[in-house]
Amino acid sequence: MKCFACGNPAVIYRKYEGRAWCKRHFSKQLEAKVKLTIRNNNLVKKRDKICVALSGGKDSSLTLYLMNKFFGKRPDIELSAIIINEGIRGYRDKSIKSAKKLCENLGVELHIFSFKEEFGKSLDEIVKEKKARACTYCGVFRRFLLNKKSRELGATKLATGHNLDDEIQSVFINNLKGDINRLMRLGPKPPFPRKEFVTRIKPLRNIPEKETALYCMLNGIDFYSSRCPYSEDSIRFDVRKFINEMEEKYPGTKYNIIRNFDAMLPALRKYFANTAEVKACPKCGEPTSREICKTCELLESITS
C-alpha cells in the first residue's frame, strides 16, 4: 500500500479514514492531533510545571516524548517525570528500567517513589499477606502518591498517558455502573480544578491505542510492553473487546463515541455539578470527600 500524501510505502492503513500513510505523514499527523488536543483544551499554559506520570509503557512513554518535543525547549515551562514503584517483582522493575533509559535519552529529570518506602509494604507483600485483589490497593495508592508527590514537587499539571481507547472504555464503564460523578469527571482535564489536586491532563486522549504503539516503534521510543501479572479479566476487559469488535465492523466507531460524549459533556457537567465537599483527611491531611480517605482506610486494613 502507498501513502495517500506522497506515494511512499505505507506503515498504516486507517480503516476509519480509508487511507494509508507512510512513517513521516503518520507521525506528523499524530503529533498534530496531540497539539490540537492541547491547544483546544488549554492543557498547557505559560509557566506550567508539567510532571508526566510515567510507567515505562507505551502510552506514558509517548506522552513524555511528545511533551518534551513540544515544550522541552520552552524556557517558561518545566518538565519532569514521576514513576510510582508499586513493588511488582519481574514487572515494575523492568518497566522502570525502560522509563529511566527514556528519561536519560531525553534529559528529563525522573522522580521515583515506592509503596514500600511510603506505605511500608510493597504490593507483592500486601497481596501475599492479605490474599487481596492487587488492583484495589494499587489504583488507590498510586493515585494518592501521584497527586501528593507531584504537588510536593511543585507541579501545576500531571500529564497522564490515557489514550482514546482508555477514555472510551471509561465512558462505557461509568455508564454501565451508573456513575454520573465519575462520568462527568472524564475529559481532557478535570471540570473543577482544586488546589489540593494537581490538574491531570490527557494529551493522548484522541489517539487510538494501536497508533500510540506504532508511533513508539517507528520513532525508536523505548517502552516496556509486558502485561502486569496481576491484571485480570474485568469489566474493562469486556468493554475493550466489545468496542474493538464494533470498530472492526463499523470503522470510526471510537471517534464517533468520543465526539458524541464531548458534545454532551458541558451539559452533563452543568446539571450534575460536583458538590462533594473536599476536606483534609484527619489522618494524613490529603484531600478527600470521605470521612477518612480511601488510602488511609486501605492502609488500616494492611496494618491491622
CB 61 within 8 A of CB 108: no
Which strand (E) or helix (H) includes residue 196?
none
In the list 10, 54, 84, 138, the residue contacting ligand SF4 (rule: CB under 6 A) is 138
Is residue 135 a contact residue for ligand SF4 (CB under 6 A)?
yes
Gyration radius of the chain's alpha carbons = 20
In the list 18, 120, 139, 282, the residue contacting ligand SF4 (rule: CB under 6 A) is 139
Stretch touching ligand SF4 by CB under 6 A, among 19-27, 46-54, 134-142, 144-152: 134-142
Binding residues among 182-201 for ligand SF4 as defined by CB under 6 A: none
- Render 177-222 in DSSP notation, one character per residue: HT-HHHHHT-SSS-SS--TTSPEEE-TTTTS-HHHHHHHHHHTT--
In the list 70, 71, 197, 230, the residue contacting ligand SF4 (rule: CB under 6 A) is 230
Binding residues among 36-75 for ligand SF4 as defined by CB under 6 A: none
CB 198 within 8 A of CB 238: no
Is residue 134 a contact residue for ligand SF4 (CB under 6 A)?
yes
Strand partners, 200: 158
For residues 294 and 158, give the distance between their C-alpha atoms in angstroms, rounded to a whole number: 21
Is residue 284 a contact residue for ligand SF4 (CB under 6 A)?
no
- Total of chain residues touching ligand SF4, rule CB under 6 A: 8
Is residue 99 a contact residue for ligand SF4 (CB under 6 A)?
no
For residues 29 and 6, give the distance between their C-alpha atoms in angstroms, rounded to a whole number: 14
- Give the footprint of ligand SF4 on this chain (CB under 6 A): 86, 134-135, 138-139, 228, 230-231
